Amino acid sequence: MIEMTFEQVVQAARRLRPEQQAALVKSLQVEPVSLNPTRRELLAELRALRSAGAFDRVTSLRNRFANPSLAYVSDEQLLAVIHEAAAEWEPDLEEHSGHGH
């Protein structure tokens, strides 16, 4: 492979015929990344990555750092506790806003 500076590449590209320059520009263009992917797009990308073996050599971190004293807690119980903690401020908000009891 030939080592070239960026400026040398630009100079070489300027010597191309217009149709070759257009083909070069097109080949270098990258599709823009969506900053707001949909759930469907994300799941499709995940399936593609799994199919391509992207996660074959990945070690799961599930329960790796778990507290042994919480081993009896199911995923459903954990989600319920998280939801309860996330919503426990709502009665206080109602009380202070004058909409409470």
pLDDT tens for 28-66 read 998 887 788 899 999 999 999 999 999 999 888 777 777
Instruction: Name the domain count of the chain.
Output: 2
What global pTM score does this model have?
A: 0.34
Domain membership flag for residue 5: yes
| Angle, helices 6-14/18-28, rounded to nearest 10 degrees | 140
Domain membership flag for residue 43: no
The range of the structural domain enclosing residue 90 comes to 70-97
Domain membership flag for residue 6: yes
Tens of pLDDT, residues 13-22: 999 999 999 9
Apex 97 CA angle, 91 and 99, nearest 5: 70
Domain membership flag for residue 14: yes
